[in-house]
Structure 1
Amino acid sequence: MTSDPEESVRLQGFGEMTLRTAVATLMALAPRERSDAAIFRVRDGVRLASSEIGELASDWGMTPMAEVRSPSLVPDQHWPDIVRGMVREAPLPALMVAFLVGVLVARR
């Protein structure tokens, strides 16, 4: 496969850029966002296949950043789960103080 790294493409949600920049941007996204994104060639409007994008990335020495989490993907835990975890791990005196502070705040 020979693709020009300076070819103009459109990365869905990011706009028009060179192919190399689009592939680098795509590799920097979280895995779930990476699978939803698409690259289209400007000259003919054809969508590049994900296998083609992966091949270009490996040819150009770009690796996906698997550990990066986007803000839209962070809310895996909800507040009740977080609070439950904190309560399970907290010592009893700390829980008593937190309860008393909560009562004082609620009375005001």
Structure 2
Amino acid sequence: MMSDPEESVRLQGYGEMKLRTAIATVMPLAPRERAEAAIFRVRDGVRVAASEIAELASEWGIAPAPEVRSPSLAPEPHWPDIVRGMVREAPLPSLMVAFLLGVLVSRR
């Protein structure tokens, strides 16, 4: 379907804008939010189908937001390496203060 990128539409929750702007606003949203977004044509009040939005976005080079992976699938942080890097970059007086505070706290 040929849609004019300069056609006036109303994006629910955002107001009236051009079709290209509405699609550029919707595509970075998370998939669930993108599915709930509603774009209505001003000329006849008809809702633009989600399949048409996806088709126009790919035609115009507007990429959707990437799928976010579950935090449980993310690699484990290497905490010893992170702490070692922090200690290496810290100034000596702050390291001494941290050590002394640690000694005081452990004695109580």
Into which bin does the TM-score normalised by the smaller protein fall?
0.5 to 0.7
Q: How many residues align?
A: 71
Counterpart of 1:45 in structure 2 is 45
Which consecutive unaligned segments of at least 5 residues does structure 1 have? 69-93, 101-108
Provide the aligned C-alpha RMSD in A: 1.9
Shift of 1:63: 1.1
**Paired AA for residue 63 in structure 1:** A
Q: Which runs of 5+ in 2 are unaligned?
A: 69-101
What amino acid is aligned across from residue 42 of structure 1 in structure 2? V
Task: Name the residue aligned to 1:21.
Answer: 21
TM-score between both structures, scaled by the size of structure 1: 0.60
Q: If you compute each CA radius of gyration, which structure gives the higher value, 1 or 2? A: 2
Give, as a single letter, the amino acid of the residue that structure 2 aligns with 1:33. E
Residue type of the alignment partner of 1:5: P
CA distance in 1, matches of 2:18, 2:45: 14
| TM-score normalized with structure 2 length | 0.60
Shift of 1:49: 0.5
Partner of 2:6: 6
Percent identity of equivalent pairs: 75
The structure 1 segments of at least 4 consecutive aligned residues displaced by more than 2 Å after TM superposition are none
